[in-house]
Amino acid sequence: MVTKRSERPDERHPAFDQNLLALFAPRSVAVVGASRDPSKLGYLVLRNVRTSGFPGPIYPVNPGARRIQGLPAYPSVVSIPSSVDLAIIVVPQPAVLSVVRDCAAKRVRAAIIITSGFRETGPLGAKAEEEIVSVARSAGMRVLGPNCLGIIDTVTPLNASFAARMPSPNGIAFMSQSGALGAAILDWAAARDLGFSKFVSLGNEADVTESDLLRVWEYDGSVRVVSAYLEGISDGGRFRRVASEATRRRPVVILKAGRTAAGSRAVVSHTGALAGSDAAYSAAFRQAGVIRVQSLEELFDSSLAFSSQPLPSGRELTIVTNAGGPSIVATDAAEMHGLKLTPLTHRTTDELRRQLPPAASVTNPIDVLGDAGPDLYRAAIDLVLADPRGDALLVILTPQLKTDAEDTARVVVEAHRQTNRPIIACFMGSAGVRSAIATLSAGGIPNYPFPERAVAALGAMADYADLKKRPTERPRRFTVDQTRVRNVITKARAAGRPNLDSFEAAQVVAAYGIPIPRAALARSLDQAVQAAEEIGFPVVLKVASPDIVHKSEVGGVRVGIQSPDEVRRAYDEICAAVAVRAPSARIDGIGVWAMARAGTETIVGLSVDPTFGHVLLFGLGGIFVEVIKDVSFRIVPITSADAAEMIREIRAFPVLQGARGRPPSDLSAISDVLERVSQLAEDFPEIRELDINPLVAYPPPRGTLAVDVRLSLSL
């Protein structure tokens, strides 16, 4: 692909660590462990630095050699007579620490440690890694790795890696937490004419992490898209902050591998069971404006589109094709990715009808027919680009008897020069379209072998364009009664109780302005009757015990109680059932609750993710929530827009809108509860899990009612 070479970081961020830049654009490079033996990595690394066109001085370091690969060698870093910006370290593991000490003494700005045998091998390796980081940090030196492939920067240019080849320059900055995968990708990319601006193998991330690179690349004029293969994120909070800013300026596309289940700890709530770390990653990425893809193919398909095409201003797609089948596949894919086929104006369709053969299809997808030459493609493309409707163009071509793929490719490239809409191509086949694809590529048009892949790439661009348009919004802060919550929590913690009883849990959410049914805690039969009369029938009786999480399962709940007699009977039944089924449970009393009127049952929950902290959940409530899994997640804190999205995201959203004659639910009241729970989690990090299930939603303006609340704390 053709790219415009641009300069070094185009803007400076106030908190920018300039030493990080030395990894990519050093003024001088030392290769420590450089070797004359072509079978050694130290040989390959030095050869790569030398042959990559690096413009500055290169210093091989090796105590046993005077010259290596034609360059004067030095016995140690400190003996190099000039300053060194970047050291690439390829010495055996036991020698690394002393080399890092030398680098620190020499005021080297950044080091790449290729050597393996550190944290990935166990506690001893981890300790060695920590020592290295502490030496580096005290000298302000940044360290990439250890256990990495290195860095390639095609703009500097510098190949500071042992990768076999230097990619061609392009706007893609790629980072990988797997070195082996990175090496394979370089090889694969070369065969597809896919270039990179930067290529980084992160290794063990002892110091430099994915967040550091996001920060640097956000301000680098040569980077049009950041593309990453990640297996985990070390500091979730920092990643979210950095990524939220970076995605305002550059698209960030991530393939996150390793879909793990929820941790092995005992999970007491529905939310805890549903919120796996994969859901937390998806939520965090979404909130930070990151595009998450599911395969390597999608990662590079979308990166290629981002790096070469302008963003679409909307989601309307126009297709010009010479074949029916592929355009149907593309149309289906468009629907799947939320793209709409542009309804062309009458003027355009009339003109298409005039210029195309009678059998051609003049509505979108525009079919110029199998025998179409470049002129018909040109006519159709010019007309659709002149139409005020339409945000992106996909040109499909299958090589048929009279097809001139090469000239048609030229038509597409020419059209690309004259429009600010994205154009991508799907010239299908192999030998028949090879040179045409090369023409497209040279003209900056990405080509995809299949229509669904082309459409998926456009879908990712449209998603990013939408994310970019989101207004920056701060989470709302509500006036709440923190002291009341603090008192409940302090009491439970002092007693060493991780779980609150249902009565206490309800007090906590009520203190945050979430409506709960009228309730009283009865410690005797008489108190229960009196409470029921004050609250008004019908009532519900529920055992209040921090030791009983699933109250119905031990016979601890009676609903629809209509009279004092029924209260007495229910009270006795609950006490008897609990005494048998949960004999050792501590009983705080029996909660007497106003019976909530029927409405739509939803669930709002909180759990803690090890990487990102509190995760908020929303879904339709009830007992099947864990089976159906129709839920949405966001990381705390959330904004009003996040809350609205969470509600709309579940498949059952039409139920809340009032499907099939049901009354609609008070969506703004649900949103309010989500935001209040988010604030609760922020204010009280010790909350480990929370379930409001059900949160009954009524038609507007009647709001919601938190009918049952479970809450557990980390002690």
Judged by CB under 6 A, does residue 115 bind ligand COA? yes
Q: Could you write out the three-class secondary structure of 128-190? A: HHHHHHHHHHHCCCEEECCCCCEEEECCCCEEEECCCCCCCCCCEEEEECCHHHHHHHHHHHH
Q: Kindly tell me which of 21 and 91 has the beta carbon lying closer to ligand COA.
A: 91
Q: Kindly tell me which of 90 and 706 has the beta carbon lying closer to ligand COA.
A: 90
Judged by CB under 6 A, does residue 177 bind ligand COA? no
Task: Map the footprint of ligand COA across residues 6-45, applying CB under 6 A.
Answer: 32-33, 35-37, 40-42
Minimum separation from the CB atom of position 352 to ligand COA (A) = 54
Minimum separation from the CB atom of position 289 to ligand COA (A) = 30
Judged by CB under 6 A, does residue 114 bind ligand COA? yes
Q: Kindly tell me which of 118 and 633 has the beta carbon lying closer to ligand COA.
A: 118
Judged by CB under 6 A, does residue 132 bind ligand COA? no
Q: Kindly tell me which of 74 and 427 has the beta carbon lying closer to ligand COA.
A: 74
As a whole number of angstroms, the distance between CA 501 and CA 588 comes to 8
| Structural contact between residues 509 and 527, judged by C-beta atoms closer than 8 angstroms | no
Judged by CB under 6 A, does residue 148 bind ligand COA? yes
Across-strand partners of 631?
619
Q: Kindly tell me which of 255 and 543 has the beta carbon lying closer to ligand COA.
A: 255
Judged by CB under 6 A, does residue 91 bind ligand COA? yes
Q: Kindly tell me which of 116 and 282 has the beta carbon lying closer to ligand COA.
A: 116
Q: Kindly tell me which of 189 and 252 has the beta carbon lying closer to ligand COA.
A: 189
Judged by CB under 6 A, does residue 176 bind ligand COA? no
As a whole number of angstroms, the distance between CA 342 and CA 363 comes to 9
Minimum separation from the CB atom of position 67 to ligand COA (A) = 11
Q: Kindly tell me which of 95 and 184 has the beta carbon lying closer to ligand COA.
A: 95
Which range touches ligand COA (CB under 6 A), out of 89-97, 188-196, 394-402, 565-573?
89-97
Judged by CB under 6 A, does residue 116 bind ligand COA? yes
Which range touches ligand COA (CB under 6 A), out of 142-150, 228-236, 560-568, 588-596?
142-150
Fill in the amino acid letter for 639. Answer: T
Judged by CB under 6 A, does residue 46 bind ligand COA? no
Q: Kindly tell me which of 175 and 674 has the beta carbon lying closer to ligand COA.
A: 175
Q: Kindly tell me which of 182 and 637 has the beta carbon lying closer to ligand COA.
A: 182
Minimum separation from the CB atom of position 196 to ligand COA (A) = 17
| Structural contact between residues 27 and 82, judged by C-beta atoms closer than 8 angstroms | no
As a whole number of angstroms, the distance between CA 602 and CA 270 comes to 12
Q: Kindly tell me which of 94 and 685 has the beta carbon lying closer to ligand COA.
A: 94
Binding track, positions 183-202, relative to ligand COA; x by CB under 6 A: ------------------x-
As a whole number of angstroms, the distance between CA 403 and CA 237 comes to 54
Q: Kindly tell me which of 39 and 418 has the beta carbon lying closer to ligand COA.
A: 39
| Structural contact between residues 406 and 429, judged by C-beta atoms closer than 8 angstroms | no
Closest CA to 47 of 161, 146, 187, 148: 161
285 CA to centre of own chain: 2
Judged by CB under 6 A, does residue 99 bind ligand COA? yes
As a whole number of angstroms, the distance between CA 114 and CA 116 comes to 6
| Structural contact between residues 91 and 115, judged by C-beta atoms closer than 8 angstroms | yes
Which range touches ligand COA (CB under 6 A), out of 144-152, 305-313, 481-489, 573-581?
144-152
SS3 assignment, position 578: helix
- CA distances to 249, 372, 497, 711 from 467, rounded to whole Å, are 11, 38, 43, 34
- CA distances to 10, 163, 198, 291, 519 from 250, rounded to whole Å, are 13, 27, 14, 11, 52
Which range touches ligand COA (CB under 6 A), out of 129-137, 146-154, 235-243, 321-329?
146-154
Minimum separation from the CB atom of position 62 to ligand COA (A) = 4
Judged by CB under 6 A, does residue 60 bind ligand COA? no
- State which of residues 139, 149, 208, 381 lies at the interface with ligand COA (CB under 6 A): 149
Minimum separation from the CB atom of position 503 to ligand COA (A) = 56
- Say how many residues touch ligand COA, by CB under 6 A: 28
Q: Kindly tell me which of 146 and 517 has the beta carbon lying closer to ligand COA.
A: 146
204 CB-near residues (< 8 Å, 6+ apart): 118, 119, 120, 129, 145, 146, 147, 148
Q: Kindly tell me which of 41 and 262 has the beta carbon lying closer to ligand COA.
A: 41
604 CB-near residues (< 8 Å, 6+ apart): 616, 617, 618, 670, 673, 674, 677, 691, 692, 693, 695
Judged by CB under 6 A, does residue 438 bind ligand COA? no
Hey, what are 330's tokens? 């593309």
Judged by CB under 6 A, does residue 81 bind ligand COA? no
Q: Which residues of 213-232 are buried (b: 16+ CB within 10 A; e: fewer)?
A: bbbbbbbbbbbbbbbbbbeb
| DSSP per-residue letters across 37-78 | -TTSHHHHHHHHHHHTT--S-EEEE-TT-SEETTEE-BSSGG
Phi, psi for 347 (deg, rounded to 5): -60, -45
Nearest residue to ligand COA, by Cβ distance, number only: 179
Q: Kindly tell me which of 33 and 167 has the beta carbon lying closer to ligand COA.
A: 33
Which range touches ligand COA (CB under 6 A), out of 141-149, 302-310, 311-319, 539-547?
141-149
Closest CA to 642 of 293, 304, 289, 339: 289
Minimum separation from the CB atom of position 127 to ligand COA (A) = 17
Find the helix or strand (DSSP H, E) in which 614 lies: strand 613-620
As a whole number of angstroms, the distance between CA 693 and CA 620 comes to 9
Judged by CB under 6 A, does residue 94 bind ligand COA? no
Which range touches ligand COA (CB under 6 A), out of 92-100, 223-231, 356-364, 691-699?
92-100
Minimum separation from the CB atom of position 102 to ligand COA (A) = 8
Across-strand partners of 31?
60, 88
Q: Kindly tell me which of 92 and 325 has the beta carbon lying closer to ligand COA.
A: 92
Question: First-to-last CA distance in the chain?
Answer: 57
Judged by CB under 6 A, does residue 64 bind ligand COA? yes
- State which of residues 5, 11, 53, 95 lies at the interface with ligand COA (CB under 6 A): 95
Phi, psi for 75 (deg, rounded to 5): -70, -25
- State which of residues 2, 16, 65, 262 lies at the interface with ligand COA (CB under 6 A): 65
SS3 assignment, position 92: coil
Q: Kindly tell me which of 148 and 522 has the beta carbon lying closer to ligand COA.
A: 148
- State which of residues 3, 52, 69, 147 lies at the interface with ligand COA (CB under 6 A): 147
Phi-psi region of 217 (alpha: psi -120 to 50; beta: other; left: phi over 0): alpha
- State which of residues 63, 123, 471, 661 lies at the interface with ligand COA (CB under 6 A): 63
| Structural contact between residues 16 and 219, judged by C-beta atoms closer than 8 angstroms | yes
Which residues contact ligand COA (rule: CB under 6 A)? Answer: 32-33, 35-37, 40-42, 61-65, 90-93, 95, 99, 114-117, 147-149, 179, 201
